[in-house]
Chains A and B, each alone.
Chain A
Amino acid sequence: DSGVTQTPKHLITATGQRVTLRCSPRSGDLSVYWYQQSLDQGLQFLIQYYNGEERAKGNILERFSAQQFPDLHSELNLSSLELGDSALYFCASSEPSQGAYGYTFGSGTRLTVV
């Protein structure tokens, strides 16, 4: 157990629908990062939050949004889903002083859009 909790582990939904993925960071970690892993693109950085504020944005589609709540858990919202959105979505967290060096990944949410 890495200490980063992601729910649900699996999600199957239809095109056009909206889903919410949840991430609870390790205790004490203020930064949360979201990554998308697909077969042909590898791990792609989506977005980073630090202590409730958006810190950096990567290749995140406009149909996707995220937020980090006061208790530091984060949610990734995916809307108007398309078949190509099927992927593994990972959340990682890190301590304030460590940045990327202290990344700990969760076990991911496997999203299947049918």
Chain B
Amino acid sequence: GQQLNQSPQSMFIQEGEDVSMNCTSSSIFNTWLWYKQDPGEGPVLLIALYKAGELTSNGRLTAQFGITRKDSFLNISASIPSDVGIYFCAGQLSGGSQGNLIFGKGTKLSVKP
């Protein structure tokens, strides 16, 4: 099946540091989404990107839809302990069935106070 390569797999950082993670694919996507999952909960949408080159912010989070439509990155600035969790990228394939998403395997973020 289609793959999204998400990196890094895990990060262990100091509070206050900036974080960057990304997703790449060999396929073209119409939409890129970034989710955060806390333990025992379902993923929660952080940012949605709809067109190539789009740069969108949500508080301390910034994400971009790559120009080639095959990649996206998420940056978190000035990390805080509550940023801990697993971050997933997800995309909807160009020409794919509307609605179902392909997910990356996640980036596990740990923040040391």
Given A42-B103, A43-B103, A101:B42 Cβ within 8 A = no
CB distance from A68 to the nearest CB of B (A): 13
Residue pair A56, B99 in contact (C-beta under 8 Å) = yes
Task: Assess whether B82 is interfacial by the CB under 8 Å rule.
Answer: no
Residue pair B99, A43 in contact (C-beta under 8 Å) = no
Main SS at interface, chain A: strand
Residue pair B105, A42 in contact (C-beta under 8 Å) = yes
Residue pair B99, A94 in contact (C-beta under 8 Å) = yes
Q: Which residue of A lies closest to B42 (CB)?
A: A105
CB distance from B91 to the nearest CB of A (A): 9
Task: Assess whether A12 is interfacial by the CB under 8 Å rule.
Answer: no
Main SS at interface, chain B: loop
The A-contacting residues of B in range 6-51, CB under 8 angstroms, are 31, 33, 40-45, 48, 50
CB distance from B63 to the nearest CB of A (A): 14
CB distance from B88 to the nearest CB of A (A): 7
Residue pair B100, A33 in contact (C-beta under 8 Å) = yes
The B-contacting residues of A in range 43-57, CB under 8 angstroms, are 43-45, 48, 50, 55-56
Given A42-B103, A42-B106, A100-B31, A90:B97 Cβ within 8 A = no
Q: What CA separation (Å) do A99 and B45 show in the bound complex?
A: 14
Q: Name the one of A42, A50, A90 contacting B42, with C-beta atoms under 8 angstroms.
A: A90
**Chain A positions within 8 Å of B101 at CB level:** 45, 100, 103
Residue pair B42, A108 in contact (C-beta under 8 Å) = yes
29 interchain pairs (CB within 8 A)? A2-B42, A31-B99, A41-B105, A42-B104, A42-B106, A43-B43, A43-B88, A43-B90, A45-B102, A48-B97, A55-B97, A55-B99, A58-B1, A58-B100, A59-B1, A90-B43, A92-B42, A100-B31, A100-B90, A100-B99, A101-B33, A101-B48, A105-B43, A105-B44, A106-B42, A107-B40, A107-B41, A107-B42, A108-B40
